[in-house]
Chains A and B, each alone.
Chain A
């Protein structure tokens, strides 16, 4: 019951972030929205770990965080080079 509410929260967060991703006035807004999409995905994976008891999915969160860090930094470098 509680977990259903949590998943509804995360789904609305995904919808709002997708709105900013499609709407975003500048490229930096879109990069930030992609970053937050990955964080919401990590939160959904953690909720799935809580619901199902599959502990192996904890590694997914760690790897996702590191990969998204490199992606965001690379996109920011590209943005600052591209003048």
Chain B
């Protein structure tokens, strides 16, 4: 029973990471690419950590996995937000001679 759960979560996690990479490769715009790459990959890592928790049910492993999930779910959106902000500033400064849209 537990083995089946581990395999399902591992498969779902790697499939989500693959979907993130497909989105990164195929979406047409930088901002849509951040949308694909950040959220799907965070979900995939979360699924894989759940699989690890089911595989080794000890306090040591579960505490480390919870810490990893917290660290990743706090840092991935912050990094993507900073990157999108920088890209928008960069874009705006590149076409400064255009008319102001506001």
Interface of A with B (CB < 8 Å)? 2-3, 5-7, 9-10, 12-14, 16-17, 19-20, 26-29, 31-33, 35-36, 39-40, 42-43, 46-47, 49-50, 53, 55, 58-59, 61-62, 65-66, 68-69, 72-73, 75-77, 79-80, 82-83
Contacts and interface: CB of A to CB of B under 8 A. Distances in A.
A32 B38 CA distance: 9
Contacts of B6: 50
Interface residues on B, range: 35 or more
29 contacts: A3-B10, A10-B14, A13-B20, A16-B22, A17-B24, A28-B83, A28-B86, A29-B30, A33-B37, A35-B79, A35-B80, A36-B37, A39-B17, A39-B41, A47-B10, A49-B52, A55-B61, A58-B52, A62-B64, A62-B68, A65-B72, A66-B75, A69-B78, A72-B83, A73-B78, A79-B83, A80-B89, A80-B90, A83-B90
Nearest to B72: A65
B2 interface: no
Question: What's the dominant secondary structure at chain A's contact region?
Answer: helix
Contact of A16 (B24, B48, B80): B24
